[in-house]
Structure 1
Amino acid sequence: MRIAVTGSIATDHLMAFPGRFADQLIADRLERVSLSFLADSLEIRRGGVAANIALGLARLGLAPVLVGSVGKDFGEYGAWLRENGVGTDCVHVSERLHTARFVCTTDLDHNQIATFYAGAMSEAKEVSLASVRERAGSLELVVVGPNDPEAMLGFTDECRRLGIPFAADPSQQLARLDGPETRRLVEGARLLFTNEYEAALLRERTGWSEEEVLRQCEVWIVTGGAAGADIGRAGEPWLHVDAVATESAVDPTGVGDAFRAGFLAGIARDLPYEWAGYLGCALATTVLGVVGPQEYKFAAADLLLSIERAYGRDAARGVEPCLTVP
């Protein structure tokens, strides 16, 4: 399956605060918050939702097409992605803006406060999926990830017009979308990805009940961090997939993107949804163990062992073909 991943491509500036944000907040003064957190460390890493997902797909043996907009400062990052199996020929390069920046501080409880500068991402709407498909030869799925809102809506409409199945992953951009725009992103999606908070926000934005959301998409995947993930389909019981336990959680940045990459790789290789969730959770825990969303490495045997320990030998045997690079 050839998958195009659209969305943000960014540089991550990750800091660690050796305390708890909650201890610094005064309940009756939240309307006038002015806080500064002294961080213990700063790590600069490659990131962006689309790039993170595409890299995960490539490491699982697929040949993803990355679609987004970057600045002229993308040269070294782009070369590194290509060396790792990600196609970047369809990435638009801005003549005037820098590649997007994600600045995030994480506390001891893995709560995060972040700011995202869009930069060149604002030009993503200039990319056409028709031209991407022409260059790639074929597209069996397009991931519409968090991006310039106009680009997200345009990609979704173009998928419908071209008859290309799409996965809706509005993520943090739900905060920028109104009700009609949110409904437009979800209607007809093969897959819908949200976390628990985004699931509630999506229902609030659209005015839809849980059942109504499930009637708009084929599969709704709701991630819950350490609680694992839930997979919903209209008229079917929800499936629950436990997270892969770890005692070495380091940095949650990019963990959700890794889950998506694992799940999508499973779908691309015709795994049942539940088993695709196993692969997603295993890859997510791998990313949780390092600083930065793209710094992880894994051996297929180790990933299979973690799946066997979490879900049993049959699950590991079922997922094993997804870890064999063609």
Structure 2
Amino acid sequence: MSALICGSFAYDTIMVFQGQFRNEILPDKVHMLNVAFLVPDMRREFGGTAGNIAYNLKLLGGDGKPMGTVGSDFDDYAAWMDELGITREHLKRIDSAYTAQAYITTDLEDNQITAFHPGAMNHAHEQSVPDDGVTLGIVAPDGRDGMIQHAEEFAEKGIPFIFDPGQGLPMFDGDDLNHFLDLATYVTVNDYESELMRDRTGLSVDEVADRVEAYIVTRGGEGSRIRTKGKTYEVPAARPQSLSDPTGCGDAYRAGLIFALQRGMDWETAGRVAALMGGIKIEHHGTQNHRFTLDEFKNRFKDEFGYGLD
């Protein structure tokens, strides 16, 4: 089973502020904010939702084909994908644009301030879901028009897919989100995005869950909650060995979901696979620097949750 991963490719410039944002921002002065943070640590990473999900799925041995639009500066990223053996057959290069760029500043409490330049991502609608070779899809944060188009194409072709609005959710109003709910098979959001979904659609969590086969809400260190067919599964968070960098944990979680869906796992196991992926990612800086073999993952899963994966 091959999954088409629709989303962004980006370069992430990640900076670490050796303090707490809350100590530098005066609440009564936010209307005239002028703040500078000294960031002695900085690195540039390969990122973007499609790139990150494809990377994590590759580690698990899952079959994924990322689809996205990239810019004239993509050569280094392309070489990285080739080294990993991740296909580039569904990538389109936009020579007049840069690859999307994220500038992320993280403080010592893992709060983040991000500036994002979409660049080539705005051309996502120039790519279409292929007619064959795909049995599962995900619509992750990407260009607005592209996300809508790809969701409609998955539905038209009868391909089940995950709607993962992520940080792109503010681009859509209530009518847009209801349209996605009509099309999607599964929806996954974090707890903040779940609240925003409720505010914009007027639908409760249960009402959203009734519209799709499964509604997955991640809650950081409190685990995740999966609602499906009238049942609710409380999934514990995995116990990371260290807390290094939360960037990309959501993408790692979604790769775990795709892997589990490809293998027909029950929802309790699927949630735990996804949780462990997020737990492993947070132990490493950047979004594509963690490594493991499938056997190592299975052993850690058994140690973590008390039973093995087939």
Task: Work out whether the TM-score is over 0.5.
Answer: yes
Instruction: Please give the residue correspondences for 1:8-19 in structure 2 after superposition, counting only pairs within 5 Å.
Output: 8-19=8-19
Deviation larger for 242-251 or 189-198: 242-251
TM-score normalised by the chain length of structure 2: 0.96
Match for residue 106 of structure 1? 106
The answer as to 2:134 corresponding to 1:139 is yes
Aligned residue identity for 1:111: N
TM-score normalised by the chain length of structure 1: 0.91
Aligned partners of 2:60 and 2:186: how far apart in 1?
20
Change (3 A) 1:270 1:234: closer
The answer as to 2:206 corresponding to 1:211 is yes
Instruction: Please give the residue correspondences for 1:262-277 in structure 2 after superposition, counting only pairs within 5 Å.
Output: 262-277=256-271
1:305 match: secondary structure? helix
RMSD, matched Cα: 1.4
Q: Between Structure 1 and Structure 2, how many residues are aligned?
A: 310
Runs of 4+ aligned structure 1 residues displaced above 6 Å come to none
1:187 match: secondary structure? helix
Aligned partners of 2:280 and 2:30: how far apart in 1?
36
Aligned partners of 1:274 and 1:241: how far apart in 2?
7
Match for residue 246 of structure 2? 252
Match for residue 176 of structure 1? 171
Aligned partners of 2:241 and 2:273: how far apart in 1?
19
Question: Contact 1:286–1:298 at 8 Å: present in 2 too?
Answer: no
2:185 match: secondary structure? strand
Please list every run of 5 or more consecutive structure 1 residues that lacks an aligned counterpart in the other structure.
322-326
1:159 match: secondary structure? helix
Aligned partners of 1:299 and 1:142: how far apart in 2?
24
Deviation larger for 73-82 or 265-274: 73-82
More helix by share: 1
Aligned-pair CA distance for 1:56: 1.0
Question: Contact 1:55–1:85 at 8 Å: present in 2 too?
Answer: no
Aligned partners of 1:61 and 1:36: how far apart in 2?
43
Question: Contact 2:152–2:183 at 8 Å: present in 1 too?
Answer: no
Question: Contact 2:60–2:293 at 8 Å: present in 1 too?
Answer: no
Deviation larger for 78-87 or 7-16: 78-87
Question: Contact 1:69–1:92 at 8 Å: present in 2 too?
Answer: yes
Aligned partners of 1:244 and 1:212: how far apart in 2?
28
Match for residue 91 of structure 2? 91
**1:162-211: CA deviations, max 9, x gaps?**
21111100101111111111221222322111000000001111111112
Aligned-pair CA distance for 1:42: 0.4
Aligned-pair CA distance for 1:64: 1.0
Match for residue 261 of structure 1? 255
Percent of aligned positions that are identical? 33
Match for residue 23 of structure 1? 23
1:96 match: secondary structure? coil
Aligned-pair CA distance for 1:33: 2.3
Instruction: Please give the residue correspondences for 1:147-162 in structure 2 after superposition, counting only pairs within 5 Å.
Output: 147-162=142-157
Aligned-pair CA distance for 1:262: 1.1
Aligned partners of 2:78 and 2:188: how far apart in 1?
26
